[in-house]
A and B are shown apart, each in its own frame.
Chain A
Amino acid sequence: MEIANPDPLLRVEHLTMRFGGLTAIGDLSFTAARREITALIGPNGAGKTTVFNCLTGFYKPTEGSIILNHEDGKQFLLERMDDFRIAQRAHVARTFQNIRLFAGMTVLENLMVAQHNTLMRASGFTVTGIFNSAHYARANRAAVEFSEYWLEKAGLVDRADDPAGELPYGGQRRLEIARAMCTKPVLLCLDEPAAGLNPRESEDLNRLLLNIRKEQQIAILLIEHDMSVVMGISDHIVVLDYGVKIADGSPTHVRNDPAVIRAYLGVEDEEEAEKVVEKAVAAVEKAAPAKKAAAKKSPARKKESRT
């Protein structure tokens, strides 16, 4: 199973989140290593986005702790911090399942807003900035250059002065990632970045993510349904079902885990299921619709097995 990592970036311990009588996450523990891509997968409603919301402070977990260790030894207890301080101090950045860009601001402005805290300090919290101090002017130029760097990575340089709301869908997804990167995070949480993308946009996205992993020394936590993305780029996969962790390990390990197969496909016969999964992984493009169909069936099957 899981190999104990002596110095993980993120350690989630016994995380539980209840909404009234509904337990969205039940006693979830996992770690995310530095400079690795950790994928969080599971059927719809498994609690993946809830985990993200707890991590980034949008929800306060009912129980459990979330510990983030910076490389310089600073430790942050994320479950006790306000959402904006998690981004500001602990440097955890996130994107959203339904894209949340500043649609009425230009692409460049979106990235400048992401550098708010750096620029705020440079502008003397507005006091010296209002007199256009040389220090602020320099910081502002540097911020524009840094934005330009990320615009290049995201392939959006020629759209820099267009409103973000006018970008095509794939461009908006990449801009949201670039915006998150402009906060200089140590952990980047991506909530279904490939959702709704066509194959070409999906390819652009993969390139951006692999590039981030290669060139930036950061960890990525990824929620994704597109198995070609998950299996292709993750180092480590955590599988959730009904808020409970059912598998944890490398892509090959998870792919062959009977519990995962049951959760995804609702197939009782495990040998048969394994074959199905292998096929699915081998020919992802073909398998995608089949998987969806299977996912639709699975709740009914599971109810049977639970009674």
Chain B
Amino acid sequence: MVAVPKSTGAVVEARRFDFVAVAKDVLLTALLAFIILGPIIGLKTFAISGSLALEQRWGLVAIFTAIIAAGRLVYHLFAWHRAQTGPSTKTAAAPALPALNLGKYIGPVLLVLAILLPFLPGVDRRIVDLAILVLTYIMLGWGLNIVVGLAGLLDLGYVAFYAVGAYAYALLSTVYLPLWFGEGILPWAFFITLPIAGILAAIWGVILGFPVLRLRGDYLAIVTLAFGEIVRVILINWSDFTGGPAGIGGIPRPSFFGLTFTEGEGGFAAFFGLEHKPILRIIFLYYVILVLALFTNFVTMRLRRLPVGRAWEALREDEIACRSLGINTTSTKLTAFAIGAMFAGFAGSFFATRQGFVSPESFVFLESFIVLAIVVLGGLGSQIGVVVASIVIIGAFEAFREMGFLKAIMPAGFDPVQFRMLAVGVALVLIMRWRPRGFVTKRDPTVYLAEKKAVPTSLVAEGRG
């Protein structure tokens, strides 16, 4: 559709721009800024023994003026100047080409990086911990992507299934498995409980699915939101069973096929003749979540190529047309809810075993929001988009903890950690402003005749429930 050589020609042409005009404009901006900021910032009144005195701060005015002028210049160089080339050539040609090429390599590169991560130089426990957190969100994102991205069902209560999985693991491994099979089962608890937790979460997915079958869009979102809250409130109030607000502690750690990560005989380190280090357990956890996440991805990719996956996407595109073609939309929606919930259940199990402790506090609405934001930001239905968005959002959250140096230059009492939600919110608004369909704006077709051509997501429906 787009004539690429033409558009690059336009860009080259537009690079010749009028330096004099830009310089004039920047100077004018600086002058205006100085006039406006002078009285506001440059002059400060303060009281000395009953009378007012004036403090002059022209240095500060100069700094702000310089910032404004620089901003104006940046706009000239990048934003306005490029817009002159015409919106059509810019939007069509510029993002389309790199997206296709990047998509091919970014996946394998990230995969190799993920596999080698614990052994890379300079990677310490903190980074592996962060990677585990990011991978947990990637897995949740991939799970929710089935419901929201493929089937087009807006689910704001996804954290409920995460909670079901976590509590299933917590209760089974601390109470029921020892009760039924004795303490000897505990090293194996994770591997036994993982599928059970997944199945339980899937059942809850179906339970949520039934009442909302007829709901669409906003109404569906509200009911799923309520469902998420109901699960959390039940966890708080049913103290006899769930431990109430205190939660459940002492959840057994996972073992390497029966070898626990403890010092001494029968431990993982002793068996393989390694020196016992706490990080071994962290690295093992990292690989567990990596395998779980890759399993989620693999299953989703396969499901997309199966009739059920195509029916999910068709459901997102047009439900009435689906019914006219003999697709049972009820069971299609329920399988989407169930399979999405199942992966949340797996992730929940992992969360419980990693923390060793679960409480309702971990399953607040904010978690649902973050996972949904990851899916939307990544580009609905895109697997690699979820990875990028998880790294960006979770990475940004954690980055604020590292910004202690800001305290040195900002006013006293400034704590960057408290600004992280604000900053991430602003970032979301900005990203949605410039990339309303998320990072990845291509949909991969599931089958092709002659040549695989990506579908631009501007054509893809967001789903109306």
A: residues with CB less than 8 A from B are 56, 58, 83-88, 93-94, 96, 100-106, 108-109, 112-117, 119-120, 123, 126, 129-130, 132, 136, 140, 144, 148, 151, 157, 160-163, 165-166, 179-180, 183
Contacts and interface: CB of A to CB of B under 8 A. Distances in A.
A96 B453 CA distance: 27
Nearest to A189: B324
Contact of B457 (A87, A104, A144, A166): A104
Contacts of A117: 326-327
A161 B450 CA distance: 7
Nearest to A56: B324
Contact of B320 (A100, A136, A151, A183): A100
Nearest to B299: A130
A109 B453 CA distance: 12
A148 B447 CA distance: 12
A58 B320 contact: yes
Interface string B274-312: 000000000000000000000000010011001110110
Contacts of A100: 318, 320-321, 324
Contact of A84 (B316, B328, B446, B457): B328
A165 B320 CA distance: 17
B455 interface: yes
A84 B314 CA distance: 14
A104 B299 contact: no
16 contacts: A56-B324, A84-B326, A87-B324, A101-B317, A101-B318, A109-B446, A113-B311, A116-B325, A126-B308, A132-B302, A140-B447, A144-B449, A151-B449, A160-B448, A160-B450, A183-B325
Nearest to A184: B326
Interface string B439-465: 000010111111111011101110000
B323 A105 contact: no
Main secondary structure of the interface of A (DSSP, over half): helix
A123 B305 CA distance: 11
B317 A106 contact: no
Given A102-B314, A132-B302, A166 B459 contact: yes
Given A87-B326, A104-B459, A105-B317, 6 more contacts: A103-B317, A106-B453, A116-B326, A161-B453, A163-B459, A165-B459
A102 B449 contact: no
Contacts of B453: 106, 161-162
B155 interface: no
- Chain B CB count within 10 A is highest, among A102, A112, A161, for A102
A161 B449 contact: yes
B47 to A, nearest CB: 65
- Chain A CB count within 10 A is highest, among B321, B325, B329, B455, for B325
Contact of A179 (B310, B313, B325, B459): B325
- Chain B CB count within 10 A is highest, among A56, A83, A84, A87, for A84
B447 A109 contact: yes
B310 A109 contact: yes
B326 A102 contact: no
B325 A105 contact: no
A109 B299 CA distance: 20
Give the 8 A-B CB pairs with smallest separation, nearest first: A104-B460, A87-B326, A88-B326, A102-B317, A119-B307, A100-B321, A160-B449, A165-B459
A113 B447 contact: no
Given A87-B325, A116-B311, A130-B299, A108 B449 contact: yes
- Chain B CB count within 10 A is highest, among A85, A103, A179, for A103
Interface in B406-465: 443, 445-453, 455-457, 459-461
Given A116-B327, A130-B303, A106 B445 contact: yes
Given A103-B459, A130-B299, A161 B310 contact: no
Contacts of A140: 447
Contact of B455 (A58, A86, A157, A163): A163
Nearest to A100: B321
Nearest to A117: B326
B448 A161 contact: yes
Contacts of B443: 104
Contacts of B318: 100-103
Contact of A106 (B306, B311, B323, B455): B455
Contact of B321 (A85, A101, A132): A101
Given A102-B318, A113-B310, A83 B323 contact: yes
Nearest to B460: A104
Contacts of A119: 306-307
A163 to B, nearest CB: 4
Interface in B334-361: 335
A87 B323 contact: yes
A118 to B, nearest CB: 8
A84 B303 CA distance: 22
Contacts of A163: 455-456, 459
Contacts of B303: 126, 130
A161 B308 contact: no
A119 B307 CA distance: 6
- Chain B CB count within 10 A is highest, among A93, A113, A144, for A113
A26 B98 CA distance: 60
Contacts of B299: 130
